[in-house]
Structure 1
Amino acid sequence: MANVSPFPVYLYDLPIVTKLKITFEIVKEVSKCPNIIGIKTGDIILARRLKIEMPKFHVLFSTIDLFDVANAFGIGKVLDGMFSCTPRNVQKMSEYFEQGNFIEDGKYLNKILDLRDTMARYGIMPCFTAAMNLLGCEGNFAQDYSSKINKSVFEIIKSKMKEIGEL
């Protein structure tokens, strides 16, 4: 596929979905194809090793709980949907990261994680929809089969977003 794709290809390291753990050895072998340019992984050990041994290979790190640790190590490309509903905190987190202030960087990450953990109690995707709607982005961001949240949960999400400075 990568040999014929008109677009650069990223590997997707999510064993629970793909049923295959992508190892450093696999990356090293398949990256011989010039169109395979990176990987999305939540494995901090793999990400660190790729950063050291294959610095031109793009790593998108996806374990939000460890973003500050990854950033401190120079793995600055991170990817998580929570960033979409926390733009103010992401901006501050990024500013502090750029300054090398990992303590303040971590404080803003903790605010994002606090919202994520609140959402997890009631259903991530329906609560994500509520958060996006509160930010002025209309629509349903959850799967079509997801149940809607009730008014009290909507108010909990709204309150949490105010608490962390998003509203």
Structure 2
Amino acid sequence: MQRDLKTNPLKGVIPPMATLLLDDDHLDKAGTCQLIEHLIAGGVHGIFILGTTGECTNISYKLRRELISLTCEKVDGRVPVLVGITDTSLEESLALSKLSKEAGAAAVVAAPPYYYGLGESELITYFKKLADALPLPLYLYNMPSHTKTMMSQKAVLELAKHPNVYGLKDSSGQAVFFNAMIYAFRDRPDFTLLVGPEEMMASTVLMGGNGGVSGGANIFPKLFVDLYNAADKGDLKEVARLQEMVMEIADEIYAMGSYGSSFLKGLKASMSILGIGNGYLATPLSAFESDQIEAIKKKLTGLKAYEIYA
């Protein structure tokens, strides 16, 4: 039986699962199943597929459908599965949502259509139309760096009135905006507030946020679960200890080279070094070359998190 996310709201660490590929036309099915078990064994509270970390806009609709079906089958209700349905076409988003419902997903996640920038009224109208037609709960996804549209506090508050809008994932990196959201929804425990940048998860949970969609959890899921639990309990000493490890990962693994995709390259290279996937990125992105992978390996194995969580 599917969990009711209104009476039992989503919270904790919901990794944006990396999409593991053999090439542009084939999922790495064995690697995907291995990754799912890795995440669940680490104690994550949900799994989010087809987000930015999942290279959602770069993989075919065929592969998206395959990934939805495979993930839901493998997870088998152990944690909620959230499916990214962001698209420039409303109909394509709805088609993915219907498949997600049939496969057993718990909810869908959508950012604003990303080619034309939207005005506030257009944004609100679009999401209301989407929420009306969806067969699953909707979590809003604020990702202005990729969509050219920053959700305003007013827009989120208006959309939160819709009975099928269950929460917000904010990847703007703007602490003032997210803190304003925490304050605005202080009397709405049913409305989930998740932060994207993993460096911000602990601080936002301490302020009243509900968790994080942390890409680094693909590498060390238990680190991020431990950090969330420490923040949720208000254990500041433990938060400081674990936060240092998270910041070291960001500094050493995600910042190699001057690529817009440095985060993804470093993440997938690290996963492959740990034996999860082969590091392949969907076209037009490309994986690190062998010398860069060796550099990542040296950095990865020197991390405090590697010593404790690998």
Contact 1:48 1:73 in 2 (8 A): yes
Higher helix share: 1
Partner of 1:33: 162
**In the aligned structure 2, how far is the partner of 1:103 from the partner of 1:149?**
36
Q: Give the number of equivalent residue pairs.
A: 167
- Cα deviation, 1:26-76, whole Å, max 9, x if unaligned, reads 112122221111111143333333333323321111132222211211213
Structure 1, unpaired ranges of 5+: none
2:75 is aligned with 1:75: no
Is 1:105 aligned to residue 229 of structure 2? Answer: no
Alignment map for 1:111-122 (pairs within 5 Å): 111-118=245-252, 119-122=254-257
Residue 135 of structure 1: CA displacement? Answer: 2.2
What whole-Å deviation, never above 9, does each CA across 1:82-115 have from its counterpart, x for those lacking one? 1211234324423433442223323322322322
Aligned equivalent of 2:182: 51
- For the residues of structure 1 that align with 2:233 and 2:167, how far apart are their CA atoms? 26
Tell me if 1:150 matches 2:289: yes
Letter in 2 for 1:13: N
Secondary structure, aligned partner of 1:139: coil
Deviates more, 1:69-78 or 1:48-57: 48-57
Question: Structure 1 residue aligned with 2:137, among 2, 8, 21?
Answer: 8
Distance 1:86 1:48 in 2: 27
User: Could you tell me which residue of structure 1 aligns to residue 218 of structure 2?
Assistant: 84
Structure of higher RCO (CA pairs closer than 8 Å, 6+ residues apart): 2
Distance 1:159 1:47, change over 3 A: same
Verify the 8 A CA contact 1:9 1:35 in the aligned structure 2: yes
TM-score normalised per structure 1: 0.83
List structure 1 segments (4+ residues) > 6 angstroms apart after TM superposition: none
Over the residues paired in the alignment, what is the CA RMSD in angstroms?
Answer: 2.3
The corresponding residue for 2:305 is 165
Distance 2:183 2:216 in 1: 28
Match of 1:139 among 268, 278, 299: 278
What is the TM-score of this pair, normalised by structure 2?
0.48
Task: Give per-residue Cα distances to partners, 1:99-149, cap 9 Å, x unaligned.
Answer: 422233233223223222223223322221221112221233533333332
Change (3 A) 1:95 1:9: closer
The 8 Å contact of residues 68 and 106 in structure 1, kept in 2 or not, is answered as no
Q: Which stretch of structure 1 is more off in the superposition, 108-117 or 5-14? A: 108-117
Deviates more, 1:74-83 or 1:84-93: 84-93
In structure 2, list runs of 5 or more residues that go unmatched.
1-129
Moved more, 81-90 or 141-150: 141-150
Name the CA distance, whole Å, in 2 between partners of 1:151 and 1:121.
14
Tell me whether 1:18 sits opposite 2:147 in the alignment: yes
Return the alpha-carbon distance in structure 2 between the equivalents of residues 141 and 77 of structure 1: 29
Query: Residue 205 of structure 2 contacts residue 228 of structure 2 at CA under 8 Å; is this kept in 1?
Result: no
